[in-house]
Chain A
Amino acid sequence: MNLDHELLRQRNLPLGGILFLALGFTLTGLGYPFYVTRGAGWLQVVTAGAVAASALLGYYRPRIAMLGVLFLAPVLPIPLKTLLGYDAILHLYLIYAALAGLMLRERRRIWQFAAGLDRLLLWAMLVFASLAVVSGLIAGARYSPTIARLLAAGPLAQFTRVHTSYATVMSFVFASMNLLLGPLLFVALAARRVGRSGHGDADVDSETDRWSIGEAIAALLAGACLSLALALVQTYAPEHGLPLANGWPSGLMTDATVFGGTIALLIPLALAVAVFSRYRLLRAVSIAALVLTALITIPLESRLMQGSMLLSPFMVGAGWVAGRALRGETDRDLWLRFAAVTVIGVVITLGIATWLMPGTELMRYVRALVTVPQMEEILAGGARRAGPGSSAYGS
Chain B
Amino acid sequence: MGRDYPIAGIGFGSFTWELLNYYQLSGAENRWFDMPHNFYLQVFAEMGTVGVAVLLVLGLAIGRILLRPLGRALHPMKLGVYLGAGTASLMSFFALLWGPFLIFVEYQVVFWFALFLVHWAGEDEREGSRGIDLEGVYPAILSARSSALWLVILAISVIAALLSPPIIRA
B57 to chain A, nearest CB (A): 4
| Complex alpha-carbon distance, A307 and B165, angstroms | 35
> Which one of B19, B99, B150 has the greatest number of beta carbons of chain A within 10 Å?
B99
**A134 contacts B by Cβ under 8 Å:** yes
B170 to chain A, nearest CB (A): 14
Residues of B within 8 A of A118 (CB): 61, 64-65
| Complex alpha-carbon distance, A207 and B19, angstroms | 52
Which of these, B58, B65, B78, B103, contacts A128 with CB under 8 Å? B58
With A312-B110, A319-B80 as given contacts, are A306 and B64 in contact (CB-CB < 8 Å)? no
Residues of A within 8 A of B87 (CB): 291, 294-295, 315, 319
Produce 1/0 per residue, A356-395, CB < 8 A to B.
Answer: 0000000000000000000000000000001111111100
| Complex alpha-carbon distance, A295 and B85, angstroms | 12
Q: Does B162 lie within 8 Å of A159, measured CB to CB?
A: yes
Residues of B within 8 A of A388 (CB): 16-17, 19-20, 34
CB within 8 Å of B: which A171-219 residues: 171-172, 175-176, 178-179, 181-183, 185-186, 189-190, 193-194, 197-199, 213, 216
Q: Give B165's nearest chain A residue, CB to CB.
A: A158
Interface of A is mostly: helix
**B25 contacts A by Cβ under 8 Å:** no
Q: Give A317's nearest chain B residue, CB to CB.
A: B84
Q: Does B104 lie within 8 Å of A178, measured CB to CB?
A: yes
| Complex alpha-carbon distance, A287 and B84, angstroms | 9
**A282 contacts B by Cβ under 8 Å:** no
Residues of A within 8 A of B69 (CB): none
With A121-B64, A320-B84 as given contacts, are A172 and B77 in contact (CB-CB < 8 Å)? no
Q: Does B117 lie within 8 Å of A171, measured CB to CB?
A: no
With A111-B137, A128-B51 as given contacts, are A193 and B120 in contact (CB-CB < 8 Å)? yes
**A90 contacts B by Cβ under 8 Å:** no
Which of these, B58, B84, B108, B119, contacts A319 with CB under 8 Å? B84
CB within 8 Å of A: which B27-41 residues: 31-32, 34-35, 37
**A262 contacts B by Cβ under 8 Å:** no
| Complex alpha-carbon distance, A128 and B54, angstroms | 6
B131 to chain A, nearest CB (A): 7
A310 to chain B, nearest CB (A): 6
Residues of B within 8 A of A390 (CB): 34
**A147 contacts B by Cβ under 8 Å:** no
Q: Does A123 lie within 8 Å of B146, measured CB to CB?
A: yes
A44 to chain B, nearest CB (A): 13
A163 to chain B, nearest CB (A): 7
B25 to chain A, nearest CB (A): 14
Residues of B within 8 A of A322 (CB): 80, 83-84
A257 to chain B, nearest CB (A): 13
**A350 contacts B by Cβ under 8 Å:** no
| Complex alpha-carbon distance, A197 and B123, angstroms | 12
Q: Does B142 lie within 8 Å of A175, measured CB to CB?
A: no
| Complex alpha-carbon distance, A124 and B142, angstroms | 11
A251 to chain B, nearest CB (A): 11
| Complex alpha-carbon distance, A134 and B160, angstroms | 12
**A222 contacts B by Cβ under 8 Å:** no
Residues of A within 8 A of B114 (CB): 312-313, 315-316
| Complex alpha-carbon distance, A390 and B12, angstroms | 18
**A354 contacts B by Cβ under 8 Å:** no
B47 to chain A, nearest CB (A): 6
CB within 8 Å of A: which B138-170 residues: 140-142, 146, 150, 153-154, 157-158, 161-162, 165-167
Q: Does B58 lie within 8 Å of A121, measured CB to CB?
A: yes
Q: Does A136 lie within 8 Å of B12, measured CB to CB?
A: yes
B106 to chain A, nearest CB (A): 4
| Complex alpha-carbon distance, A33 and B157, angstroms | 44
With A111-B134, A213-B117 as given contacts, are A179 and B103 in contact (CB-CB < 8 Å)? yes
Residues of B within 8 A of A160 (CB): 166
| Complex alpha-carbon distance, A294 and B13, angstroms | 30
Q: Does B84 lie within 8 Å of A315, measured CB to CB?
A: yes
On B, residues with C-beta under 8 Å from A are: 8-14, 16-17, 19-20, 31-32, 34-35, 37, 46-47, 50-51, 54-55, 57-58, 60-62, 64-65, 75-85, 87-89, 91-92, 94-96, 98-99, 101-117, 119-120, 123, 127-132, 134, 137, 140-142, 146, 150, 153-154, 157-158, 161-162, 165-167
What are 12 contact pairs spanning A and B, CB under 8 A? Answer: A112-B137, A125-B58, A126-B150, A132-B47, A168-B17, A179-B103, A185-B112, A287-B80, A287-B83, A312-B89, A323-B76, A388-B17
What 6 A-B pairs are tightest by C-beta distance, nearest first?
A319-B84, A323-B80, A139-B11, A175-B13, A307-B95, A302-B98
Give 10 A-B pairs besides A108-B134, A220-B110 with Cβ atoms closer than 8 angstroms. Answer: A73-B109, A112-B134, A134-B154, A135-B51, A135-B161, A139-B14, A178-B108, A181-B109, A309-B92, A320-B80
